[in-house]
Amino acid sequence: MPFFTYALLVANIVVFFYEIQVERSGSQRDFILWLHRWAVVPRELFRDPGPAGLIPFLKATFLHGGVLHLPGDMLFLW
């Protein structure tokens, strides 16, 4: 039984619904600041070239761009 895969599926779905909640609850500026914190910002990728530089990629793995993006990714993961 692929427990890790199921855990990733659930984590992605939970983060997506949280992302929607953040987008709808605050101002557009708040949502952009939230995305800046959790998404990959290209100009900041090379500030820390060590292992900590990979953290933005791990955080951004759980973000999805829309209602059709999430099911497509989850189907591919499954």
Would the pTM of this model clear 0.85, i.e. be above it? no
Confidence at residue 52, expressed as pLDDT on a 0 to 100 scale: 67
Angle between the 28-38 and 3-25 helix axes, to the nearest 10 degrees? 150
- When the pLDDT of each residue in the chain is averaged and rounded to a whole number, the result is 81
Instruction: Identify whether the C-beta of residue 12 lies closer than 8 Å to the C-beta of residue 74.
Output: yes
Q: What radius of gyration, in Å, describes the C-alpha atoms of the chain?
A: 14
* Residue 44 to residue 7: CA distance in whole angstroms: 29
Confidence at residue 74, expressed as pLDDT on a 0 to 100 scale: 82
